[in-house]
Chains A and B, each alone.
Chain A
Amino acid sequence: MAINLLGGVKLPKNNENLQYKDITEIKPPEVYAVPVVTSNGLPAEPVVKIGDEVEEGQLIVKPTGSRGSFVYSPTCGKVVSIIDKFTPKGKKIQHIIIKNNGKLTTHTFSPLKDKTAKELLKRLALCGLVDANFGGTPTYLRYTLSAIERKFTLYVVISNTDPYISSNEALVINRTAEVVGGAKYFARILASKKIVFVYNGRAKKTKKLLKKYLKAHEPQLKYSFKEISNNYPSDNIMLLMHRFKTKTKLFTEGDYKKAFVEDAITCYNFFNAVEFNMPVNSRVVTVGGNNIDKKGNYIVKNGTSFEHILNVVGTVDDKKPFKILNGGIMTGMCQYTTDVSCNLETRTVSFINESEFDMQDESPCINCGRCVSVCPMNLVPNVLDDYCVNRKHFDAEKHGLKSCIECGCCSYVCPSKRYLTQRISTVKKQVEGGDK
């Protein structure tokens, strides 16, 4: 039986099967713009100055508090400026602009001696790995010393539910050894008795391939598979953590630090950081949408601009208007310009044309309750929307406005095509901005 999460919607299947294509590295651009802080704003500062020469993998940003993350240079080159620029999520933050000089020297960490849990945890904290699901919070914050060797089960998500994201599956298919290796290192930190691979019904083939690999190459490893529902957003790590920890579908306040769920991308990056001592400065990004030529999963360095990606993959038709999304079809944020850069939170970049998006006028809410039944956070979108329209921000907050994960399910199912997610997320940003 597949595990169900609360709510969620069935999205149409993507038949392009990008996950079976090989993952290639995108050609290095001339200039990189590396953001100093991630979108949740944990404080950090650059450790390089304008005019400094840096090498690939060299530390360029270090946290000022105890919670931020380290950032490593994606290339060899010269720091030409440090400026304020917009991120794909619409925040204006400091970026370090590095001009590529074509050299290929790389900085690596010194090798780990025994790869014990403590050593691995230290590497996790230093390697610069961040969670895309949590607005770029460093992964190590979820693993504290109290988590070490407590025999928690490790869950690894190997599939995606948004039809425009296939990076997890692509990694499992094309880089199986690395993903499994990374998962084993995480399991060592937790002293997990077994690793549970979580997949959805649409990724059965991927599961079979992984099972075959594990049988052939990992006879000692204890593992099992768990199916989750096909509904979007059932691959959301935060939702899954909650589901596995509390064993209930309904949300109550819980301690997220006890269920450990990782996705294939994190495992892959962690493997490279431990095995090859490489700092994390790139991420596998799905580049999709009908407006480009060469769709696929690419390894994209931190700070690569969308413009460069668009040049590499090629536009089909630049006369007709299209959308550039930082994210999939459900959560992707439209970009005004291609002068923004991918960072370590970018999971997918989609260039979609008119055949792929809908634009409809909204009509009045008919109170059908579909939005209520699909909300994975157990909210009441129609009422929240009402509060947002009438500027009753306090009431909205009282009814869980801040818990909204902006998944888009409510807008998707609404027969009246109400702009629910749109309004709720706008007001949420206002309210959160007011808090600071």
Chain B
Amino acid sequence: MEEVAIVGVGQSTFTRKCGVSVRELCFQAYKEAMEGLDITKDDIDASIVCSAPEYDKQRTPSGLISEYLELTPKPTFYVESVCSSSSTGLRVAWSLIKSGLHKVVAVIGFQKMSELTSREAAERMGRGGDIIWESPFGITMPAGYAMYARAHMAKYDTTEEQMAMVRVKNSSYGARNPKANYRKELSIDDVMNSDVITSPLKMFDCCANCDGSSSIIVARGDVAKRVSKIPIWVIGVGAATDTMTMSGRKSVTGLECSQEAARQAYEMAGVKPEDIDVAEVHDCFTISEILAYEDLGFAKPGEGARLIEEKQTYADGKIPVNVDGGLLSKGHPIGATGGSQIRTIVRQLRGEATEAQVKGAEIGLVHNVGGVGQYGNVTILRR
């Protein structure tokens, strides 16, 4: 079977208000991904557009973006798994190439949250859970993760200070990332003294929704070697789901969708957690990063908080995590987020991550979760 590689990556600056149209926003990421490649738009066999439709004003945006990038008459379609949409996009691109159907596929993720009024955004926030059984109680995305945080604290003695340490680390890298929305360095006190949103999560435990786009150009092995100086190989893809209802979860101290997606990805790649040189994990909240350490096998269950306390996830630590600032600093433009994580790992493996390069990184991992642990995607990349 054909090998599959990523040959181009790009993202827009993530910002609270981008001030351009969705098609122009997507162009920013696509331009960065395509520049320097020995291919043009005519070599792209298909495009996959990723976003969360509840935030889109434009109906069926894939057709529009395909037109703007002059990718017609090549096939285009839309995929969605909320916050992990563009990792799902990469998974589908990988499959299309593996099947022999296509040689080059463009994955484009976006979200323009500023197109909604705050009233519209609050209305959508109310429909994120099961609309019959859980939304009528007023559940929100932060509340779902807060319940995981509370259970993790009770079972493993994880503290709010340890959660704050995740934000402190990520803010130190976000400050160096020119494409991040939030570029201030934060202290433990800043996080601990911020307003409670949904206990025990405070404002700085939470990422901010943003406008943004990302793009990944995926190619068949032979093409990748021809068009790219340093193709980055997709060696493991894992995906899994968990229930939409919180009451359906078997565990409230770890995300089973992450654990299962990781198991698949490690098995396909033939690597173990200790082989990973650098990782991007889905830190929509500080607790999410601690859960990810455990769910991905970087720490044993209950020992995730110790990993951050010992600074093992800093760039010079045992397993560097989110050394681009993570969602917490970059911001979270739902459909674009996975592509941004993938871009960071590709730049790390190429040795181009000038802001915070992990020396000699050869194998990287991307962990991208949709909803409150509802859709899990884990992708393993190798130089």
A binds B: no
